[in-house]
Chain A
């Protein structure tokens, strides 16, 4: 069985528990920002979250759960994070359907709070950034269903908690949850919705699988778990919306038809504040949770949220490219590029193969620029990518650009009024050998012998280098 607490046990030596109270208003996020700057990514567990009113709550906050590539890969049993893409693509291509369990076997329904008893402000909800207008749920997985097929959909959606039983939430306009919402609203009906929080990263990563519509994420979660995900009927919507039985917290309710409220500004994955938008609201009917629930928060725009989402993108891109280009080795969607950039390494690609692969992956809505390199380049090093761009690219020959494609309208660089984006694929591989057995017709890289390098490293070992000038 895998849930949030089993993961915290598995990674117990990588969990940091700061002493004393830590404020929910920006203080926890500031810790993440400071750790990001130091390139250190422990899981953070705040036992004493302090609210804006100074009161210390008794539900702990966990964040940075998946800020580390190493920990996130290990959650799936992948020992080398660089191999994550292939494993994710393979496992989500082999889904395992979920199973239903009885309510008494569902820890998430140990406590059921309905009506006046349900109060969102009892949860330790963070206000992350300076211009956020209030506290936001950031790890709330919104589950709705398609009224035509009955098939559910799950996606992370930010929720601005405004009243004890009312919050706005923002399903991206192109999302499957928005399609479901509009179908209910088109009939003049409120849209049933639940938001669940807290589970093992295998389940969290499964919910981010990029699927067709309508297609449930539960089976992708099962593929990553290696066993069926346990679900239980929600209290409000019964088996119309099932929820993960081993989650920590569930918020149930309805989105009343055609009711819009202001939502945002909100600190986004782009690293910029997203604009205030008109968003649906959820009128909360019920909150269920474990007896000793743990509240999970994603630091929006920080490695905490970028790493798991980007690693899922790596799996998607690998799955799109590999059937077209067998020489694809690894994929990296770097935090430095938010979600816009992808680096892909190839092992001796045939002529035309790299460009075919670039064309395929540019169709993926989330990509904006994809850089293809040979496998002597470390795609997990931005510096190595810059080296390849500097020495292996002639811009007119090696760059494929395409405009009018679907992409993120949160990209701050898009032109005024644009509804689509411009993308680029960059072939930064070296020219291939044209004579069997002969070297590629390009200059070899500078190098020293391995013996000389080993000796140099040995000579430097143990020397106090503190204070030496940096680059």
Chain B
């Protein structure tokens, strides 16, 4: 799996600052966003399923991935 389409958010939060824990994928087909666990991305072998257009694709085919 290449990381070209992945943005990794900073791992640690400074004390007192809130930073979200949800990872998002932008569908390569319809460009809509949906949220996923980091686990399903890092496995690299499970097809993601866009709930908007129902396209299935592996993580490298996503338009963008933002990992929290």
Q: Using CB atoms and an 8 Å cutoff, list the residues of chain A in contact with chain B.
A: 131-133, 260-262, 265, 273, 275-278, 412, 414-418
Contacts and interface: CB of A to CB of B under 8 A. Distances in A.
A260 B68 CA distance: 22
A415 B68 CA distance: 10
A415 B40 contact: no
Interface string B18-47: 011111010000000011110110010111
A172 B49 CA distance: 20
A265 B33 CA distance: 11
Interface residues of B, number: 26
B24 to A, nearest CB: 9
Question: Chain A contact residues: over half helix, strand or loop, or mixed?
Answer: loop
A277 B35 contact: no
In terms of DSSP, what is the predominant structure of the interface of chain B? loop
Most B-side CB within 10 Å, residue of A265, A278, A415, A418: A278
Contacts, number: 62
What 4 pairs between A and B have smallest CB-CB spacing? A133-B51, A262-B49, A276-B36, A278-B40
A417 B35 contact: no
A260 B40 CA distance: 9
Contacts of A261: 46-47
B21 A414 contact: yes
A343 B40 CA distance: 36
15 contacts: A131-B34, A131-B51, A133-B54, A260-B46, A262-B47, A262-B48, A275-B23, A275-B37, A277-B37, A412-B21, A414-B21, A415-B13, A415-B21, A416-B68, A417-B11
Contacts of B54: 133
A416 B9 contact: yes
B56 interface: yes
Given A260-B46, A262-B46, A416-B20, A276 B34 contact: yes
Contact of A276 (B13, B37, B68): B37
Q: In the complex, which of the residues B36, B37, B40, B43 has the most CB atoms of chain A within 10 Å of its own CB atom?
A: B40
A262 B13 contact: no
